[in-house]
Amino acid sequence: MDDLARHLGLSRATVSFALNGRTDVRISEATRARVVAAARELGYRPHAGAQSLAAQRTDLIGFVTDIPASPFGGGIIHGAQAAAWRRHKLLLIVSSEGDPEIEATGVEMLLDRRVEGLVYATQMHRVATLPAAVEAVPTVLVHCTSDRPGAVSVLPDEVEGGYAATRRLLAAGHRRIGLVNLAAGLPASTGRRSGYERALTEAGLELEPALVRQGDATATTGYDLAARLLDLADPPTGLFCATDRMAMGAYDAAKERGLRIPEDVAVVGFDNQEIVAAYLRPALTTVALPFAEMGVAAVEMLAATAAGERVLDRTLTGRLVERASV
């Protein structure tokens, strides 16, 4: 910048004003144009690090996650980066692979870089143990909660999701709807089930415990649970599976029994794992969790916090993706 100023016969201050397009200081249009032209010509590139140091802001947001290598993690990263982009900020990433030591050291490194906020995203909807150092900077948790005061969370609305899935089956005329659920105790399991129950109750149907089964998230379990439901004396005609993988298993159970989907039994999944849902035959109607939106929300909440607003936990609603299994 010094070279530029000398080249133009101006002071560094003037060049800085002109380049930053500041309106609170009067610079003649002619001068501004000369400066900009010279900057381009000489290939001048402002040094963001030096700007940070002088201006006392870094435009950097820290992103810590245990899972970049999943559709979930990637989606959040993408949303967060897009939102940061709009604010002319960049994302500094640490992926911990769940290792608490990497996590703690990573947070330290990010704080050394003076990130203006921290996004902490986890693979599973769970309670997270944050390194103590995060207190130093506004933090938003994604897909998890923490007892640490001041940390706010962005969570998917499991209840609404379960409700939407079940409503879809009801709308298609189904009256006996089975739930192939995740193991009890998980927020995802509890939430999806209460959405399911709310929808049935609203439709004036009675809750039948025999129609609700639970197990782990695998296709094998989905197969077993769905098989038991379909083998009931009065089997369900609709199946809400709490994950797409479980729905995959349910497909097999149905096919083995000669049941056509959706004619004989309709299936709704959860997660919208593109690879599974879109390519299952028939394609799976399922609930998409708002990954990218959660990333966007996290960065926006960080910005709001920085602006002095009080920020509360947020819950984001998924979206029913209609395909051909209902």
Partner DNA sequence: TTGTAAGCGTTATCAC
Partner DNA sequence: GTGATAACGCTTACAA
Fill in the per-residue mask, 110 to 149: x = in contact with a copy of itself (CB under 8 A), - = not in contact.
Answer: xxxxx-----------------------------------
Stretches 49-57, 103-111, 122-130, 187-195: which one binds DNA (CB under 7 A)? 49-57
Judging by DSSP bridges, how do beta strands 319-321 and 285-288 pair with one another? antiparallel
Which of 21, 33, 38, 45 contacts DNA by CB under 7 A? Answer: 45
Among 290, 289, 292, residue whose Cα is nearest residue 83: 292
* Tokens found for residue 160: 């609404």
Stretches 104-112, 139-147, 179-187, 197-205: which one binds a copy of itself (CB under 8 A)? 104-112
CA distances (Å), 187 to each of 125, 212, 285, 317, in order? 7, 17, 22, 15
Stretches 32-40, 43-51, 300-308, 316-324: which one binds a copy of itself (CB under 8 A)? 43-51
Compute the distance between CA of residue 169 and CA of residue 265 in angstroms, rounded to an integer. 10
CA distances (Å), 13 to each of 2, 27, 33, 248, in order? 10, 11, 15, 65
Stretches 18-26, 93-101, 121-129, 138-146: which one binds DNA (CB under 7 A)? 18-26
Stretches 10-18, 170-178, 239-247, 293-301: which one binds DNA (CB under 7 A)? 10-18
Among 253, 273, 264, 250, residue whose Cα is nearest residue 323: 273
Which of 6, 33, 41, 47 contacts DNA by CB under 7 A? Answer: 47
Comparing CB distances to a copy of itself, the nearer of 93 and 203 is: 93
Among 121, 130, 133, residue whose Cα is nearest residue 94: 121
- Please list, in sequence order, all residues whose beta carbon lies within 8 angstroms of the beta carbon of residue 293, skipping any fewer than 6 positions away: 79, 316
Query: Cβ of residue 312: shortest distance to a copy of itself, in angstroms?
Result: 27
Query: Cβ of residue 316: shortest distance to a copy of itself, in angstroms?
Result: 16
Compute the distance between CA of residue 71 and CA of residue 77 in angstroms, rounded to an integer. 10
In degrees and rounded to multiples of 5, residue 95 shows phi and psi of -110, 125
Answer yes or no whether residue 95 interacts with a copy of itself by CB under 8 A: yes
Which of 33, 37, 42, 55 contacts DNA by CB under 7 A? Answer: 55
Give helix 187-202 / helix 158-171 axis angle, nearest 10°.
40
Query: Cβ of residue 279: shortest distance to a copy of itself, in angstroms?
Result: 4
Query: Cβ of residue 224: shortest distance to a copy of itself, in angstroms?
Result: 11
Compute the distance between CA of residue 80 and CA of residue 202 in angstroms, rounded to an integer. 37
Chain positions contacting a copy of itself, by CB under 8 A? 45-50, 52-53, 58, 63, 67-71, 73-75, 77-78, 81-82, 85, 90-95, 97, 102, 106, 109-114, 218-220, 223, 244-245, 248-249, 252, 255, 273, 275-276, 279-281, 291-292
